[in-house]
Structure formats: C-alpha cells, structure tokens
Amino acid sequence: MNGLFIEFRDPLFGIIVFFALIFIIAFVSYWWGRLRSKEDHRYLERFLRSLRRAPSQPQLKAAIDSDALSQKSWLLIAESYVQNGDFERAVDIYRSLIDRQSEPRRKRDLLFLLAQTYFKAGFLERCETILLQILGRFPRTPQALKLLLFTYERLQAYDRALDVLEPLDELGDDVAADRDYLEIQRLLHDPKSDPAAKCRRLAEHYRSKGTLAYLVFEYLFAHDPALAWTTLRETDAAKIADILWLLPEAHLDLDIIASNGYLRQLYSARGSVNLAQNSPEFELDVLIKLRRCGHTGIDLQFEYLCADCKQVFPFPFHRCPQCQQIDTVVTETMLCKEQYEKSDTF
C-alpha cells in the first residue's frame, strides 16, 4: 500500500505543487484586483455624476430629514456651496435646517448664516428682512446689527444706516469712523445739495478731522480742483497717487507741486514737470530716469491694499470689501507698458 504513494514523497513533486499553488494564488489575486478596480471605477463615476447633478430642494430636505448627516456636516456643505458661488443650494440647506430647529438661539445662528448668504448673493432686501427678524427676538446681537448696517449702506439708505449706529454704540462698539463715513456718503448722494456746497462740506471735514482722504479728494478733484489743491495735506499725497496721476494737465497747480517733495517726484515721473532728479520710491525713480534719457512707453498702474487685513484689490475702496474697515486704503504703484488708447469715463 505504501508503494502506491511513494511518488508523493518525491521532492520534485513537492516543488511542483509549491509553484502550482503560487501560480493559482497569483492568478486569483490578479483577477480579483481587476474586478475590484472596475467596481471602484464604477463607484467613482456614479459619485461624480451625483456631484454634477445638484440635488433639488425636495431631495435636500429629504436628505436632511433622514439624519444621514449631522447638522455640522450640512453646514460645511452649505459653506462649500457659498464659496463656489452656488448660493441657491446653500439657501436651500439653511432653510431646511431652520425648519427642523426648535431651539431659539441655534435658530438665530442659522438665520444669521442665511442672511449672510443673501448678502453675498446680492439679495439685500431679503437679507434685511431676516436680520430684522433676528433683532426682533434678539436685539442685542452685534453681528446682526453690523450686517444690517452694511446692508443699508449697499442699499444707499444712509439714514437707516445711521440709525443702526445707536444700538451699536450702546453695545460698546466704536462707531465714530462709521458715523463720519455714512454722513459723508449721505451728503454725496443728496440730490438736493449742489456740488459747490458738497465740496465746501468735504473740505471742512478734511481740515477738521483729516480722515477719509481718498473719498474726499476723489470728489474734490472731479468737481473743484482748485479747492482740492489748497486743501490737500502733503502727507496724504501718496494715498491718492492714482487720482493725482490721472489729473489733466489743465488741472495741475504748479506752485503747489513745486513746494511738495512727493508731488515733484510724481509729476516728474509723469513728464509734466522736470523738478526731481530721483525718488526714494522705486517706480517713480525708474520713470524719472527713463524720462531724462528720452525713453517713453512706460506708465504707472495702481493696486489698492487694505492697511488692516492686508488684502490687495485691483480697484479703490472706501470700506474694505474683505474686513469692512473704513479709510484703510493704501495706493500701491506698479510699472506697466503705456496704453496709448485711453477710454473716457462717463
């Protein structure tokens, strides 16, 4: 009987079985991996298709009601929609969460997030309605009051914006800068006041407080350049460098320019005068030296930095769009190729 199984004790047979097992395991592992890879690929495609098709409001409400995700997760999803500019989906999520919320303070927080979304989307009247609803229940809510202030400012409802400053002042906020800014904006948008009266009021404000220089001289140089030149302080010339750079030659006051070191450098760089040999500011120094050598084709362009949050914008501002601070604009100069075709501003 033992003779029948002698071949199974042969070392060569053991080696053959060993390699056969390795081959079978490798073969099964390879095809199992292929099948898993195809299944993962199909799952990924289904997932991407679900992302391309934004869920409808009933689908969102059903998903929120199912409690498959926590409220914190839904808030993160809504925030991602807001960052991507899909405000409609974010609003749907916030509204569904508000309908399910019964605790007053958490509902207030959700309403505030909804108001912020409407504000970013530009639906200012809806934002106002929700903020007034919040303040009706929770009047001592500084965040809601500040957002309501910004909403009225965007709506150019400056009287109502000034009214919002009173409760903010009572809550301990420093509203002096906001009050000055809103009063100046109300003056500039008053159709009953003539430009000459506005210029006088702006000059008086600047002489007495020295604030809002960009806002003041943006209007003064457009409507009364002579008054603007006599009112401008030497220390604020760099802040409005773009306004001064773009002034027509006919509106220049050469006597004031000759008496101000920065103005001499600025207008020598522009080529309007030849009163400066160099400048501590790199861009102006380069332009001055190029002008003296007869080279043209180089111009200045400007960008605008917020001194508070350090955010850079391609356009001037009076209230920072990022941090909402007032009178923090810093004008930065950059060299660029001169544009020969200039469009008129209407």
Distance CA 149, CA 162 (A): 8
User: ∠ at Cα 207 (201, 211), nearest 5°?
Assistant: 90
pTM, full prediction? 0.76
pLDDT value of position 44: 55
Q: Which two tokens stand for residue 100?
A: 């399910």
pLDDT value of position 41: 66
Tell me the Cα Rg of the chain: 34
Distance CA 211, CA 196 (A): 20
Q: Among residues 132, 76, 123, 66, which one has the least CA distance to residue 100?
A: 66
Task: Provide the CA 190 distance to its chain's centre, in angstroms.
Answer: 28
- Partners of 335 in the β-ladder: 300
What is the mean pLDDT, run by run of 10 residues, along the chain of 346 residues? 52 77 85 78 58 61 72 88 89 90 92 95 95 94 96 96 95 93 95 94 95 96 96 93 94 94 94 91 92 83 93 93 92 83 46
46 CB-contact burial (10 Å; exposed 0-12 / middle 13-18 / buried 19+): exposed
Distance CA 197, CA 199 (A): 5
Q: Among residues 123, 55, 67, which one has the least CA distance to residue 97?
A: 67
pLDDT value of position 343: 47
Q: Among residues 280, 287, 285, 327, which one has the least CA distance to residue 307?
A: 327
Distance CA 98, CA 107 (A): 6
pLDDT value of position 50: 54
**Which single residue is written with the structure tokens 């990022």?**
322
Q: Among residues 114, 109, 115, which one has the least CA distance to residue 137?
A: 109
